[in-house]
Structure formats: structure tokens, C-alpha cells
Structure 1
């Protein structure tokens, strides 16, 4: 299974925000949308960063509540780990594990086309294992 198959199943909607937003703006979006990360994009949907819940918590721990009025550019990760639609789930799991990343934006031709969370990867892996088990049962029964 590859990233494109996951996106086909879950959809390719991605919550994004512009780089001029504040940390408080992002916290509100994360809370309202019940998500763990927001991709920061420029006007042409090119990825310029990513900011997650733990980045906000870290900023508050380091700078106090005053960081909420700061630009997300001060807090976001600008060196974003990305993947493409043809990447396999196994390769994506390795990337997420090695980089300790819970969210990986998906790019096509340098533009954002989706996002994969660790939950999406786990669900896809479980489905693959269940499918394999069903095929083995059918083979044995049959």
C-alpha cells in the first residue's frame, strides 16, 4: 500500500495557515478542528513549515504565555519532512519513526496535496494485516 491509497481513502483535505498567523491563531485552529498539526503554506500552496501541538506547548514552556502573540514563524518547523504519493506505507513508517514525526505533508510537484498522520499509517497497516489474514484463511479453507 502507498500514500496515494491512504489519501484516496481518507481524503486529501489539509488544514493550512499562512506564515503571518500567531501562535494563538494556530492553537485556536487546532482546538476547533480537533487536529494535531497545521501545515504552513505560502500563497501558491508551497510548504513553508508545520506547527503541531507539541511545538506550542514547548513555546509556552520556554517563553510563557506571551509567546501566544508571536508569529508562528518563531515556533514552526521550517525544515519539514515530506513524502510523495508513491511512497510505501513501510517507508513512511520508517520516516515517521526515525524523525519522530506524527504528521507528514504529502507533496506533488512541490505543492501540498495531503497530509498523513501516524494514525492514518497505523490504520492502513492494520487493514493490510487483516486482509492478509483473510487471504490466508481463505487459502487454508479452500
Structure 2
């Protein structure tokens, strides 16, 4: 299965923000949208960074509550690992495992077109196993 299949099923909506957003505002966005990461984009919708919940927790642990009023650019990851719609779920699982990343932005022609979470990958993997089990049962019973 490919990333494109996951995006076609779940949708391509991604919560994004500019680098000037404060850490406090980012925490509100995460909470209100029930998501674990925000992709930071530039004016051309190109990926400039990513900010996850644990980045906020680490910033508070390091600097205290005063970090909440700083821009997210001060704590975001600028070196964002990405995938494409043609990446396989297996490649994505390896990437997430090796990088210890829970969210991987998807880009096409240098532009953000979606995001895949570890939950999306797990759901996809479970569905593939269930399909395989059903195919085996159908084969045995025929």
C-alpha cells in the first residue's frame, strides 16, 4: 500500500501555521484540532518545519512557561523528514521507527499535500492484515 491510498481515504487536510505563531497559540491549535503536530509552512506552502506536542513539553521543561510566548520557530524542527505519495507503508514504518517520528508530512513537487501519523500507518497495516486473512479464509473455503 502507498501513502497516496492512505491520503485518499483519510483526506489531505493539514493544520499549518507560519513560523511567527507563538508556542501558546500552537498548543491551542493542537488541542482544538485534536492533532499531535502542526506543519510550519512558508508563503509558498513549502514545508519550513514541524512542531509536535512533545516539542512543546520539552521547551517547557527546559525554559519554563516563558517559552509559551516565543515564536514556534524557536522550538520547531527545521530539518523535516518527508515522504511522497509514492512512498510505501513499509518505507514509512521504517522511517517513523528509525527517526522516532510520529508525523511525516507528505509533499508533491516541493509542496505540502498531506500528513501521515503513526495512527494512520497502524490502521493501514491492520486493514491489510485483515484483508489477507479474509483472502486466505475465502481460498480455504472454496
Please report the TM-score for the alignment, with normalisation by the length of structure 2. 0.99
Q: CA RMSD in A?
A: 0.4
**Counterpart secondary structure, 1:83:** coil
* TM-score, scaled relative to structure 1: 0.99
Report the equivalent of 1:44.
44
- For residues 5-16 of structure 1, what are the structure 2 equivalents within 5 Å? 5-16=5-16
In the alignment, which residue of structure 2 is the partner of 1:121? 121
- Distance in 2, Cα, partners of 1:58 & 1:33: 21
Residue in 1 that maps onto 2:26? 26
How far has the Cα of 1:42 moved from its partner?
0.6
The answer for unaligned runs of 5 or more in structure 1 is none
Q: Hey, what does 1:78 align to over in structure 2?
A: 78
Quote the residue 2:68 is aligned against. 68
Distance of 1:20 and 1:73 partners within structure 2:
7
Alpha-carbon displacement from aligned partner over 1:73-115 (angstroms, at most 9, x marks no partner): 1100000010000000001000000000000000000000000
Output the CA distance in 2 between the equivalents of 1:15 and 1:140.
46
Give the deviation of 1:43 after TM superposition: 1.0
**Structure 2: tracts of 5 or more residues without a match:** none
Cα distance in 2 between the residues matched to 1:104 and 1:31: 19
Question: What is the distance in 1 between the residues matched to 2:10 and 2:32?
Answer: 20
Deviation at 1:116, TM superposition (A): 0.1
Runs of 4+ in 1 over 3 A off after TM superposition: none
Instruction: Give the corresponding residue for 1:55.
Output: 55
SS of 2:35's equivalent?
coil
2: CA distance between counterparts of 1:27 and 1:58? 13
